[in-house]
Amino acid sequence: MLRIDRITLREIRLRLREPFRISSGVVDERRILLLELRDASGVTEWSECVAGELPNYSPETVDTAWLAIREWLAPRILGKGIGVPPEGVHDILDRHVSGHYMAKAALEMGCWGIAARLRQTSLAKLLGGERERVATGISIGIQRDPDELAQRAVAAHAEGYRKIKVKIQPGADVEFVRAVRQALPKGTDVSADANSAYVFADAPHLALLDEFGLTMIEQPLHRDDLVRHAALQRQLKTPICLDESITDMQRTEDMVALGSGRIVNIKPGRVGGLGMSRRIHDFCAKNGIPVWCGGMLESGVGRAYNVALASLPNFLLPGDLSPSARYWERDIVEPAWTMDAAGMVTVPRDALGIGVQVDRARVDELTVRREDLRAPGQA
């Protein structure tokens, strides 16, 4: 059993080394919501809420997540006995609270981190992860022109990344992808992510991407549009991968039933946590759908949860699990996340909990707001 008696919410600001542009917006300084959970035994662990600054990728933001956690979600687990492993947390948080997946996930994942520490094991082992190292790809934001993008893709490939994903949008797609494909060695794993920038009428245009042999095109259409994704998939040779659309089990089942895509990007923050990530993973494995772990420009805390998850067996494609130095001058964890020359990240299987230590002094320095939530009657 675990029993969370205090949750400290903090917002920190962390500047990206360079702005990251996707079809729906750009971010240069991350507002990161961190949670520090304390078990009644005194054990503590950190988790991260992946909500963004603006409701462009998802309806949630840092501010809505803070509100949801404080008002509706944290009170459901504070002071309550929770089984280990904490598979039941998802349903406790989900009952009669719709949406707010990222807020739920931050709490749910924190419970997994605490549970691992209580069991004196690593998060990766507690989850049932098997890999000792996981393959990583890079997600490159939209650039000024095709040459600039191609240069970045070449540099990333030289660093060892095993998948090059480029963000696309109308006006920055076919010629950009062509430049990347031409600049990289034949056979390099290249994919494109549209973050819902297209509509179904763009199908003939998107079919122009087929000639580049992409591993996938990620989320071309609106998050709610599984029906048109299925129609689009029938017109494309390139496999569609769904990201924003996959928020729970039903959506994953519907994707498979309708044929809305052939690959799934799992982000634990987007689906309400690690328990649901694992259920989606298992369902996809049974249905022959490869999955990979997406990223949300997390700090080293959020990355730890992603890396542990990506060590499960059906994570068959490289994840967006770039090392700390890709994002930050300096991460908030020790050790910082690194990638070897073969594009592999080591899973901290033999460490306790999430496997990295938070640099508390630095987090204190970066904190712009803080709130302690406690179980009723708790000091």
Contact positions vs ligand OSB (CB under 6 A): 22, 57, 139, 193, 195, 243, 294-297, 320, 322
Is the distance from CB of 373 to CB of 7 less than 8 angstroms? yes
Minimum CB separation from ligand OSB for residue 218, in Å? 7
Minimum CB separation from Mg ion for residue 251, in Å? 15
Q: Look at residue 57 and give the partner it binds from Mg ion, ligand OSB, none, a contact being a CB closer than 5 to 8 Å depending on partner kind.
A: ligand OSB
Burial pattern 268-280, b for ≥16 Cβ within 10 A else e, equals: bbbbbbbbbbbbb
C-alpha distances in angstroms, 183 versus 42, 61, 115, 202? 54, 37, 46, 26
Cα–Cα distance for residue pair 77/279, rounded to 1 Å: 22
Does residue 320 belong to the site contacting Mg ion (CB under 5 A)?
no
Q: Which is nearer to Mg ion, 46 or 292 (CB)?
A: 292
- Whose CB is nearest to ligand OSB? 295
Does residue 189 belong to the site contacting Mg ion (CB under 5 A)?
no
Q: Which is nearer to Mg ion, 45 or 193 (CB)?
A: 193
Minimum CB separation from Mg ion for residue 24, in Å? 11
Count of residues binding Mg ion (CB under 5 A)? 3
Count Cβ atoms within 10 A of the Cβ of residue 254 and give its class: 0-12 exposed, 13-18 middle, 19 or more buried.
middle
Q: Look at residue 139 and give the partner it binds from ligand OSB, Mg ion, none, a contact being a CB closer than 5 to 8 Å depending on partner kind.
A: ligand OSB
Dump strand ranges (E) for 141-187: 164-167
Catalytic residue among 165, 167, 186, 237: 167
The neighbour count for residue 29, using CB atoms within 10 Å, is 11
Q: Look at residue 86 and give the partner it binds from ligand OSB, Mg ion, none, a contact being a CB closer than 5 to 8 Å depending on partner kind.
A: none
- Of residues 232 through 271, those in contact with Mg ion by CB under 5 A are 243
Does residue 108 belong to the site contacting Mg ion (CB under 5 A)?
no
Q: Which is nearer to ligand OSB, 129 or 295 (CB)?
A: 295
| Residue 167 is among the residues annotated as catalytic for this protein | yes
Question: Which range in 36-44, 109-117, 163-171, 213-221 contacts Mg ion by CB under 5 A?
Answer: 213-221
Q: Look at residue 39 and give the partner it binds from ligand OSB, Mg ion, none, a contact being a CB closer than 5 to 8 Å depending on partner kind.
A: none
Minimum CB separation from Mg ion for residue 270, in Å? 10
Q: Which is nearer to ligand OSB, 146 or 294 (CB)?
A: 294
DSSP string, 314-347: TB-S-BS---HHHH-SS-SEESPP---TTSEEE-
Q: Look at residue 240 and give the partner it binds from ligand OSB, Mg ion, none, a contact being a CB closer than 5 to 8 Å depending on partner kind.
A: none
Q: Which is nearer to Mg ion, 232 or 354 (CB)?
A: 232
Does residue 36 belong to the site contacting Mg ion (CB under 5 A)?
no
Is the distance from CB of 291 to CB of 266 less than 8 angstroms? yes
Angle value at C-alpha 236, between 215 and 217, nearest 5 degrees: 35
Is the distance from CB of 332 to CB of 358 less than 8 angstroms? yes
Minimum CB separation from ligand OSB for residue 14, in Å? 13
Q: Which is nearer to Mg ion, 179 or 240 (CB)?
A: 240
Max Cα–Cα distance, the chain, nearest Å: 64
Is the distance from CB of 190 to CB of 180 less than 8 angstroms? yes
Cα–Cα distance for residue pair 356/122, rounded to 1 Å: 10
Q: How far apart are the first and last CA of the chain?
A: 21
Question: Which range in 69-77, 80-88, 160-168, 187-195 contacts Mg ion by CB under 5 A?
Answer: 187-195
| Residue 80 is among the residues annotated as catalytic for this protein | no
Instruction: List the catalytic residues.
Output: 167, 267
Q: Which residues bind Mg ion (CB under 5 A)?
A: 193, 218, 243
